[in-house]
Chain A
Amino acid sequence: MPDAGVITITGLTKSFGDNIAVDDLHLEVRRGELFGLVGPDGAGKTTIMRLLAAIMSPDSGEAWIAGSSILHEGERIKEKIGYMSQRFGLYEDLTVMENIIFYADLYEVSKKERPARIERLLGFSNLTPFKGRLAGKLSGGMKQKLGLACALIHTPEVLFLDEPTNGVDPVSRRDFWRILYDLLKEQVTIFVSTAYLDEAERCTRIGLIHKGRLITTDTPAKVRKSIPLSMVEIWAPDARKAAEAAKGMAGVKDVSVYGNRFHVALAEVGLTDRIIEQLKEKGIAVIDHRQVLPSLEDVFIHIVRSSEL
């Protein structure tokens, strides 16, 4: 298998009743990538994760994970991947160590390699002092790190993480991502789903997904530039009212409010001054404004809104 595609997805489709959760997905992820599947809740991220981990069967389409087909070689895939479900999937009534040993047994990690590997996993996840603690008594962040440790016990080629930092505090989130970067150095391919756009920015490549459809795939920087948007950030005492006023103006494609400031997406670069003037004419106070690069969030909101039109 060439390095080109550790994950190759062609035409993957899955629906539940009338609801199409994954719609004709095509994607290729290379070895050593940290690929982020980005989208709002209900976009179909979890379904994609489950299909790729071979714990759910697609309606049509096919995917190969590390050279094995999800349709015909599901059990071989399970030996090569680590999977972390969105909901905490370990045993809360078992201790940290008991959970790790349980998964080491299931993955048949040899007795010889085991001690060193467990020690290393406990070390990088800072769980060593909590070896004897029941998993149910861990904090959210520590639970996720334990989940990661269990998913890594057999040194998988590909790691599937379904919204691993959902509901985790910011410090633990950063910790978690630091661990993922360390893993990348070991040539593990990481396929992570997230609804957080700041996390998406940290991926080597992202796929924006909305209503089961993959809208765009590229590096975060290129995704940002892919949309011909000129973005201006405007500070105003009453940002909400100002944003409301800006919405109807000519050349304004999109407006999103962030507290005391708001972003206006413009069809052309030169429109900024005219917008500010028009706001003043309407008697709306503007404190300051500046040209900004559209954030992923801007792009994403723009894409979602325009796809809904």
Chain B
Amino acid sequence: MKLVRIKAIAKKESIQIIRDPYSLAMAFLMPVMLLFIFGYAITLDVDNLPTVIYDRDKSSMSRDLVAQFRESHYFTIVAYADDQADIDKYIDAGKARVAISIPEDFSKNVATGSDAPIQVAVDGSDSNTATIALGYIAAISDQYSRRVGKSLAVPAIDPRVRIWYNPELKSRNFIVPGLIAVIMAIIAALLSSLTISREWERGTMEQLISTPVKPPELIIGKLSAYFVIGFIDVLMAALIGIYLFDVPLKGSPLLLMMFSSLFLFGGLGLGVFISASAKSQLLASQVSLITSYLPALLLSGFMFSIPNMPAPLQLITHIVPARYFVTMLKSVYLKGGTLKLLIFETAALAIYGVITFALANKRFRKRIE
């Protein structure tokens, strides 16, 4: 292998990317857009649930209870209902997701220390949100009971929970690191999947294969150009995460870049392999999206927890490189993970990279078929 040829290919590829506004946009604008779209849109936190209150007691005690709900940022009171039918109206129209009605004898019951039931209706059409909302409601009423009802029996177990790694339980703190994996997967596969098929389509490949250039020289040259882009993208994504989304980076930035490079290597290798196999750009980009983006989104543990998946799917996740990268990212970001802790994932990504590179190398032929 000759360095001069690798450098020539890398230089040529870089010039082409820089001169093509479309490629440039795909390389640098798309990742930022994806980060914004996903960063703002995907939030698994439930807050500001529109809530309607039907207070039949109208006492200072019931108002106090309502205030508890209002002051938690989980509920936003959108209306006060005058009768039961009113509540149905709000829920049916989708104007409220939660309805709380307080019976007439609420304050009396609280005062006498007997059971003081309140009725809660939750819109179950989004079961995830409904479950979380019920948890919040239980917690708030429990707190309230303890505050006002000194006579209430103190529960036998009083858990004092401390949440590690993500103490505020902000979903953004684990979504943004996971997003870096998804974005890298898309960028790596999309950018590189076009590189060889484009040369076949434009007719430049025929000229290129008539020279003594060797397949690994061509592939390494092309990979290194896209590697630089991917590296810049990781850097941008990390900075946007830290400064715009306030996602703290607990671990070493150096380690983050190292892991990202490793993941990029495999992703780009896959892209080049696809590109060498499919001789049209359209087919190559379709295949690369299906084989990289979808698994990274669905099977990496980024959006859906892997232990909750059915067993066959769980098995499949082992060959999804993004799975290892998501684990690494979450660990480095939230736990301050070290190389020693993540050695298994590091090895998995390294093996994946070597395999895709070898495949790409084997698949690319200097012959017209």
A75 within 8 A of B: yes
* From A74, A85, A98, A101, contact of B207 by CB (8 A): A85
A177 within 8 A of B: no
B42 within 8 A of A: no
Chain A residues within 8 Å of B20, by CB: 93
| Cβ–Cβ contact A89 & B203, under 8 A | yes
| Cβ–Cβ contact B368 & A106, under 8 A | no
| Cβ–Cβ contact B210 & A94, under 8 A | no
| Cβ–Cβ contact B212 & A79, under 8 A | yes
Given contacts A87-B206, A88-B203, contact A103 B211 (CB under 8 A): yes
A293 within 8 A of B: no
| Cβ–Cβ contact A106 & B213, under 8 A | yes
> How many angstroms from the CA of A282 to the CA of B147 in the assembled complex?
126
Binary A-proximity of B190-233 (CB < 8 A = 1, otherwise 0): 00000000000011111111111110000000000000000000
Nearest-Cβ distance from residue A163 to partner chain B, whole angstroms: 13
Residues facing B in A40-80 (CB within 8 A) are: 50, 53-57, 74-75, 78-79
| Cβ–Cβ contact B211 & A78, under 8 A | yes
A300 within 8 A of B: no
A181 within 8 A of B: no
A91 within 8 A of B: yes
A90 within 8 A of B: yes
Q: Which of B2-10, B161-169, B346-354 contacts A (4 or more CB under 8 A)?
A: B2-10
| Cβ–Cβ contact B212 & A85, under 8 A | no
> How many angstroms from the CA of A147 to the CA of B204 in the assembled complex?
11
Chain A residues within 8 Å of B16, by CB: 91, 93-94
Given contacts A75-B212, A85-B206, A90-B207, contact A105 B367 (CB under 8 A): no
| Cβ–Cβ contact A83 & B4, under 8 A | no
Closest A residue by C-beta to B202 = A92
| Cβ–Cβ contact A105 & B210, under 8 A | no
| Cβ–Cβ contact B209 & A55, under 8 A | yes
Nearest-Cβ distance from residue B196 to partner chain A, whole angstroms: 14
A107 within 8 A of B: yes
Chain B residues within 8 Å of A103, by CB: 211
Residues facing A in B1-51 (CB within 8 A) are: 2, 4-5, 7-8, 11-12, 15-16, 19-20
> How many angstroms from the CA of A56 to the CA of B206 in the assembled complex?
10
> How many angstroms from the CA of A147 to the CA of B203 in the assembled complex?
13
Interface centre among B202, B208, B210, B366 (most CB of A within 10 A): B210
> How many angstroms from the CA of A147 to the CA of B207 in the assembled complex?
9
Chain B residues within 8 Å of A196, by CB: none
Chain B residues within 8 Å of A182, by CB: none
> How many angstroms from the CA of A107 to the CA of B208 in the assembled complex?
11
Given contacts A56-B368, A102-B8, A105-B5, contact A78 B212 (CB under 8 A): yes
A119 within 8 A of B: no
A81 within 8 A of B: yes
> How many angstroms from the CA of A107 to the CA of B11 in the assembled complex?
16
| Cβ–Cβ contact A89 & B206, under 8 A | yes
Closest A residue by C-beta to B7 = A105
Chain A residues within 8 Å of B367, by CB: 55-57
Closest B residue by C-beta to A104 = B8
> How many angstroms from the CA of A102 to the CA of B205 in the assembled complex?
14
Chain B residues within 8 Å of A106, by CB: 5, 8, 208, 211-213
Q: Which 5 A-B pairs have the closest CB atoms?
A: A89-B207, A105-B8, A83-B210, A87-B203, A85-B206
| Besides A50-B368, A88-B203, A108-B212, 12 other A-B contacts (C-beta < 8 A) | A53-B210, A55-B206, A78-B211, A81-B210, A83-B210, A91-B204, A93-B15, A94-B12, A94-B15, A98-B15, A103-B211, A105-B4
